[in-house]
Structure 1
Amino acid sequence: MSLKIGWIDYLNTLPFNFELTGVKADFDYQLIKGVPSQINQYLRKGSIDVGFVSSAEYIENFKDYYILPDLSISSLNKVHSVLVLSEKPVNQITEIALTTASKTSRYLTRIVFEKFLNKKVFYTDLKDINKIDTALLIGDEAIAYRDKYPYSIDLSGEWYRHTKLPFVFALWCVRKESFQRKKSEILKLSSVLKISKEKFFEDMEKYLKKSKIDFDTDFAKFYLKNLDFCLSSQHFESLQLFSNYLLEMGLIEEKPDFEVIK
């Protein structure tokens, strides 16, 4: 039975694209594609075995998942693709339309505004970017719209400014039941993803051209070099702090354990 892998085609997931980098996957697999919120849902329901999911998805459902080691999408300061964009300066913002594509970024918005900026705002779900003056956007959409608004708050930059820690946006996670049934394939995938990440950065320009991305190559190189794809003790410290804020704000019910496959 093939391994079902949840896959997100964003600029920031390119280093893990082992088909792009030519790293051989010595097992049967199927890529199930979607936006982050869809991949979260697929993993939760068991439609996929393993996937790149938001940190919030792991934190809320940690009893069902293991984490693959040494892999994440994180930022050591500004991330440039998780942005609150506005027609107004921050002191005049009263309402934010939140993308439904990422729960982690929605939670981070609340922490930044309510805890760091000490500001109460009203939140809605983003439906039409052209009909609102302040929105949370993520990923390729945030990059596309970032220059169209006079004011921009980089949420990862705010997190770093207040905590001096990287922010972990996404993790590679596997369902515990899938790990028991497909341990060999999961361990191989974990190795393939790590090798792909390393290979990608050895010749980034080559793989960016092969990928046919819609972004300027110079910007893509700057953007990807600014991200952090590792998962160290400092990253786990950040995840613990993020969880503490969510617990304190009543957004989660219990503090998670962070279990990494061996």
Structure 2
Amino acid sequence: MSRLRIGQVDYLNCLPVYHALEEGLLSLDAELVKGAPTCLNKLFLQGDLDVTPISSIEYARNMDYCLILPGLSISAKGRVSNTLFFSKLPVTELEGRNVSLAETSAASVVLLKVLFDHYYHVDVQFETLSPELDHMMAWSDGALLTGDDAMLAYQRVKEEHLPYHVTDLGEVWQEFTGEKMVYALWVVRSSDSNDRSDKIAKISNILLESKIMGLNRMPAIIAQARKQTGLPLPVIEDYFATISYDFDESCRRALLVYYDYAYKSGLIDERAKLHVWGESVE
């Protein structure tokens, strides 16, 4: 049996889940593959990863291909600090304008489009560009950035007093729906769920154990995050305080609301159901 390959989003938000594995505090007979969310989505869907965090919208688009691993997500209730929309005008004044989208996050792109359709009721023209604020704003009147790129760009906006409005999409989503936003899920290929069930169970348990260990070692993770990004300590501490890594009933409810709006906007072909590894399929 070949060695399993596990995706790891190369952003700060995954550090608590993978810290114990990277530091050798837990042993795992698998290869860790780092990349941006959209890169890992692609690798998983073409069969080059066995387990990975995947953009929550890509699960909905490929729910017959994968199962959700229990107990893990990247989510936040309201403000999240790494899913930010920068604009030259207030969002409600962007009718008919150009908006650039980072090529790195599928879930946040759909979130922004849903909010434009159902919350702001503003029609704009979208273009996907590399995640660099100056380049994006040279082309457009608004730019979506995610992950570390968003946090670093926001720090620049504050320090250089750049004339941009900054909208936290997690905060707006909560205002609109009252729900948290689930940005990513950990998934396994459905075809592996029987053939490699013992190995999948072991990896699922190790990831959960690693998450718990990481959350108990936050000072070390925060120090690593500061070294990795150069962001101020209060920014990093605040960021990790907003992120949740659980997958509970509130996450399930929030996902179904998100998928319902994505379906209404024509961004997925059907309303998704949540198929979780180890649970019976209704």
TM-score by structure 2 length? 0.87
- Cα deviation for residue 53 of structure 1 reads 0.5
- Cα deviation for residue 210 of structure 1 reads 4.5
**CA RMSD, aligned part only?**
1.6
Deviations 1:60-90 (A, max 9, x none): 0000101011100001011110011112222
Task: Tell me the residue number matched to 2:234.
Answer: 218
Q: State whether residues 21 and 200 of structure 1, in contact with CA within 8 Å, keep that contact through their aligned partners in structure 2.
A: no
One-letter code aligned to 1:43: F
- Cα deviation for residue 170 of structure 1 reads 0.2
Task: Tell me the residue number matched to 2:267.
Answer: 251
How many residue pairs get matched? 261
Distance 2:105 2:70 in 1: 22
Task: Tell me the residue number matched to 1:120.
Answer: 123
- Cα deviation for residue 22 of structure 1 reads 4.0
Deviations 1:123-162 (A, max 9, x none): 1112433523410000000001114243111111111111
Distance 1:90 1:181 in 2: 49
Q: Does 1:235 align with 2:251?
A: yes
Q: Does 1:131 align with 2:131?
A: no
- Cα deviation for residue 19 of structure 1 reads 2.1
- Cα deviation for residue 216 of structure 1 reads 2.8
Q: State whether residues 53 and 170 of structure 1, in contact with CA within 8 Å, keep that contact through their aligned partners in structure 2.
A: yes
Distance 1:112 1:130 in 2: 20
Deviations 1:152-199 (A, max 9, x none): 111111111111111000000000112222222221221122222222
Distance 2:148 2:79 in 1: 15
Deviations 1:217-257 (A, max 9, x none): 33212101111111111111111111111111211111222
One-letter code aligned to 1:213: Q
Task: Tell me the residue number matched to 2:153.
Answer: 145
Distance 1:217 1:179 in 2: 41
Q: Does 1:110 align with 2:113?
A: yes
Distance 1:250 1:203 in 2: 42
- Cα deviation for residue 4 of structure 1 reads 0.8
| Uncovered stretches (5+) of structure 1, i.e. residues with no partner | none
Q: 1:12-23 residue pairs with structure 2 within 5 A?
A: 12-17=13-18, 18-20=20-22, 22-23=24-25
Deviations 1:10-55 (A, max 9, x none): 10010111324544234x2111221100100111111111101100
Distance 1:181 1:48 in 2: 15
Distance 1:244 1:20 in 2: 37
Distance 1:170 1:69 in 2: 13
Task: Tell me the residue number matched to 1:95.
Answer: 98
Distance 1:254 1:31 in 2: 32
TM-score by structure 1 length? 0.94
Distance 2:118 2:218 in 1: 38
SS at match of 1:62: coil
From 157, 167, 185, the equivalent of 2:181 is: 167
Deviations 1:88-109 (A, max 9, x none): 2223322210111111111100
Task: Tell me the residue number matched to 2:200.
Answer: 186
Distance 1:48 1:178 in 2: 11
Which ranges of 4 or more aligned residues in structure 1 deviate by more than 4 Å?
A: none
Distance 2:118 2:263 in 1: 13
Q: State whether residues 23 and 195 of structure 1, in contact with CA within 8 Å, keep that contact through their aligned partners in structure 2.
A: no
Q: Does 1:196 align with 2:196?
A: no
SS at match of 1:124: strand
Distance 1:203 1:136 in 2: 31
Q: State whether residues 82 and 138 of structure 1, in contact with CA within 8 Å, keep that contact through their aligned partners in structure 2.
A: yes
Distance 2:242 2:211 in 1: 14
Distance 2:276 2:83 in 1: 26
